[in-house]
Amino acid sequence: MACKNWNQNGASMTKNTGSHQNPPDLDGNTFKLVRFSELETDGKLAWYFFADQCRHCLEPPCKDAIEGYAAGGAVQDEATGAVYYTSKAKEAPFEEVKDSCPYDIPRKAANGQLVKCTMCIDRISNGLIPACVKICPTGAMNFGERDAMLALAKERMEKLKTKNPKAQLLDADQVRAIYLVVDDPKKYHKNAIAGLNHGIVHKLAARFLRAPASTRVQTAASG
């Protein structure tokens, strides 16, 4: 709700599907949602929750996909690493941008704009922390310099490992939104971790297709 409130996003009509999962997915109005899974583990039912959003990749494939069609359509902020889209992003084909993301994050809003979590760039560039981090009453999220956050996450993971040997950080060397989970990531959500370098494959393919024909072999080989 804090995300919707800050970004002035409307609500999307949903229906009861017999699950706590509501809304069912990210959409043009929903930049972050809690994924819910109910699974049997060791003969007992267990609930898994995963707050899904853009990971703000260190090398974002979605940016390459957009920039291939619309210069200036995607920005990676130098100071913070936040990845966000501008109004020019709507010139890029949505499905290609969506497919380029290894976490299936970008969505298309009703006005045609491509959207996702912006890391609250308008807040953090003015000295505020992201709205979702600020509002969380349990302190489940932290925000700060990448090195400090990585150190905090690793420290917390080591503590959790005493009782949860599968505790792990997800793709921490590739992203800025770092998740700590205590069980197999796939139990939380199919896109909790990047699948088979899906985005990287698209990134290389996009680079190859955009390169002048005379340089294609070299570009593909060195990408």
Q: Which residues contribute to the site for ligand SF4 (CB under 6 A)?
A: 2-3, 6-7, 31-32, 53-57, 60-62, 83, 101, 103, 105-106, 116-120, 130-132, 199
CB 143 within 8 A of CB 121: no
Q: Find the helix or strand (DSSP H, E) in which 222 lies.
A: helix 216-222
Cβ distance to ligand SF4 smaller for residue 17 or 126: 126
CB of 82 to ligand SF4, least distance (A): 9
CB of 89 to ligand SF4, least distance (A): 11
CB of 53 to ligand SF4, least distance (A): 5
102 cis-preceded (ω within 30 degrees of 0) = no
Cβ distance to ligand SF4 smaller for residue 60 or 73: 60
Cβ distance to ligand SF4 smaller for residue 28 or 60: 60
Q: What's the Cα-to-Cα distance from 51 to each of 25, 46, 55, 95, 150, rounded to whole Å?
A: 11, 17, 11, 23, 18
**What is the C-alpha separation between 51 and 198, in angstroms, rounded?**
21
**What is the C-alpha separation between 85 and 178, in angstroms, rounded?**
21
CB of 160 to ligand SF4, least distance (A): 23
CB 166 within 8 A of CB 183: yes
Q: Is 52 helix (H, G, I), strand (E, B) or coil?
A: strand
DSSP letter string, 136-195: -TT-----S-HHHHHHHHHHHHHHHHTT-TT-EEESTTTBSS-EEESS-HHHH-TTSS--
Cβ distance to ligand SF4 smaller for residue 80 or 216: 80
Cβ distance to ligand SF4 smaller for residue 105 or 178: 105
CB of 212 to ligand SF4, least distance (A): 25
CB of 41 to ligand SF4, least distance (A): 28
Cβ distance to ligand SF4 smaller for residue 26 or 168: 26
